[in-house]
Structure 1
Amino acid sequence: MPATIITTDDLREFKTELLEEIKSLLDQQSSGTLKQYFKSSDVMEFLQISPGTLQNLRTNGTLPYTKIGGIIYYEAADVQKAMDQHRTHHNSGFRK
């Protein structure tokens, strides 16, 4: 295998390209065009629920999902929406 020599200019060009790609991704995310997805393990950890409870949320339609190649993904906005829809407001009993 022949050796490849990397110059300082090569590294500068790589750095510039990498920074441009990162900037593009951040711009997409801030504009809402880049969606964030979670795997089941992330959702279970975030919501502190069991695999069975997560299955129930999928089955009853509370939490939409996408399955690709045997892996289930949840859109971050859908997880937040489910949290908001099940928020309760009650009087804590404390008086001012």
Structure 2
Amino acid sequence: MASIEFITKEDLEILRVQLMDDFRKLIEPRKKILKEWIKGKEVRKILNISPGSLQNLRINGKLNPKKIGGTWYYRTEEIESLFE
């Protein structure tokens, strides 16, 4: 026999509060990065992505880093623009 679940006003209020919390977290200003150029490892940490995902951002032209002595450096402006 199928069970029936009821949604109460309190349940809807809890959902509303959770959604508003989630929206606030999405739109709150991100911490500004102080350096003009940062290494790939720092970028991966900020974006919480894998090395392969960072490479895809390079390949797809979303980030235009400079390679100096085997190390990729990324402009902080470009990283911040990914959040907009």
TM-score range, shorter chain: 0.5 to 0.7
Give the distance between the partners of 1:73 and 1:43, measured in 2 at CA: 9
1:17-96 aligned within 5 A: 36-84=36-84
Letter in 2 for 1:36: E
Q: Post-superposition shift, 1:81?
A: 1.2
SS of the residue aligned with 2:63? coil
Give the distance between the partners of 1:60 and 1:70, measured in 2 at CA: 20
**TM superposition score normalised by structure 2:** 0.56
Counting aligned pairs with the same residue, the percent is 44
- Please tell me whether Structure 1 or Structure 2 has the larger radius of gyration of its CA atoms: 1
Give the distance between the partners of 1:38 and 1:83, measured in 2 at CA: 17
Letter in 2 for 1:76: T
**TM superposition score normalised by structure 1:** 0.49
Give the distance between the partners of 1:57 and 1:83, measured in 2 at CA: 14
Unaligned stretches of 5+ in structure 2? 1-34
Unaligned stretches of 5+ in structure 1? 1-34, 85-96
Q: Which has the higher relative contact order, 1 or 2, with Cα contacts under 8 A spaced 6 or more apart? A: 2
Give the distance between the partners of 2:37 and 2:67, measured in 1 at CA: 12
Letter in 1 for 2:45: E
Number of matched pairs: 50
